[in-house]
Structure 1
Amino acid sequence: MQVRKLTHDDLPHASALCLGAFTQAVAPSLSAQGVETFAKVAAAQAFAERMAGDNLMLVCVAEGVITGLIELKQGRHVAMLFVAPSWQRRGVGTRLMNAALEQARAAVVTVSASLSSVAAYQRYGFALAGDVGEIAGLIYQPMEKRLP
């Protein structure tokens, strides 16, 4: 398994991976508005636009295929973390999280975790940091991790 920066050639695969994992794990608990909001955020063009900004985007590649993706916004907020369902619980998320945290530029890294991913973020060392919220149909749990 290799972790590297997302490239423009990766965009269709990265978008499909995020949409597929989201559809399976998160979408069933959301309204149509939330699903539509996420589809816009995870579109290849939206990734391309964020790549041009202050967002670190890393992918994990195994057996020649993108198996996971993490996006760290402004060096301090995990904006996205998805692992292909067939690769979950095989260390992909941990590798991506560790690689992103090594490049964090703040003492505290935050995430607006989907409710189905709270336990995974707790395993990565994040703690609850406020009440459940909702933006544009996306329901999330604020969490944070203090870095050493």
Structure 2
Amino acid sequence: MMSIRPYAEQDLADIVAVFTDSVHQIASRSYTPEQLAAWAPLSPDLEQWRARLSGVETLVAESRGVLAGFISFTSNGHIEFLFTAPTFARRGVASLLYEAAVQRLASGGVKTLTTDASLEALPFFESRGFSVTEAQTVERNGVQFRRFAMTGPS
């Protein structure tokens, strides 16, 4: 049984662990070890994460008390984060989180969503009607990455 609820401060360490594990295990199909280490350092800065999450709304998916994934988004419809714990990958967690975020944003009048999708996330967003508006090369900690600015329906 999966439940979706708002992020709480006590979720911080679990969210950072899900992000780090997801990047290093799932995104390893598309990115080099150097890119993974720059994107998701194995010793994350929790204060930096606390600051990042303070500017967005975050929903978490939980199964039997275990954090299965999370989505973070701005009030104007930009999806900042959508990550699933590797043990819950391909089990509908991202879809549940996405639908919950869409409902919240639509109730606030948001009609268009945007995101910056990784190579791994690109097919997920395309399957929900998003299209690439720009292929980008960005830099994190001195390492370059490919990602895609995307726009989609809410």
- TM interval, shorter chain, is 0.7 to 0.9
| Structure 1 runs (4+) greater than 4 angstroms displaced | none
**TM superposition shift of 1:90:** 1.3
* Structure 1 pair 76–43 and aligned structure 2 pair: CA distance change class (3 A): farther
Q: Which amino acid aligns with 2:96?
A: R
Look up the equivalent residue of 1:146 and give its one-letter code.
P
- Deviations along 1:88-125, one digit per CA (max 9) or x if unpaired, are 12111011001111222532111110012211112233
Over 3 Å counting, the alpha-carbon distance change for 1:89 and 1:34 in structure 2 is closer
Q: Take 1:39 and 1:29, find their aligned partners in 2: how far apart are those partners? A: 14
Say whether 1:123 aligns with 2:124. no
CA-atom RMSD in angstroms: 2.2
Unaligned runs of 5+ in 1: none
TM-score, normalising length: structure 1: 0.84
Task: Kindly state the Cα deviation for residue 139 of structure 1 after the two structures are TM-superposed.
Answer: 2.2
Change (3 A) 1:91 1:79: same
Indicate if the aligned counterparts of 2:53 and 2:72 stay in contact, CA closer than 8 A: no
My pick for the range that moved more, 23-32 or 86-95, is 23-32
User: How many residue pairs end up in the alignment?
Assistant: 145
**Whole-Å Cα distance in 1 between the matches of residues 74 and 40 of structure 2?**
16
User: What letter is aligned with 2:150?
Assistant: M
Q: Deviations over 1:3-58 (max 9, x none)?
A: 11111111111100110000112256147366324439x643223213332x0111
In the alignment, which residue of structure 1 is the partner of 2:69?
68
Summarize the Cα distance change of 1:143–1:69 in structure 2 as closer, same or farther, 3 Å threshold.
Answer: same
- Aligned-residue sequence identity (percent) comes to 23
- Alpha-carbon distance between aligned partners in 2 of 1:23 and 1:3, rounded to the nearest angstrom: 24
Partner in structure 1 of residue 149 of structure 2: 142
Q: Distance in 1 between matches of 2:113 and 2:35?
A: 27
The answer to whether the 8 Å contact 2:74/2:80 transfers is yes
Query: How many Å separate the matches in 2 of 1:79 and 1:44?
Result: 17
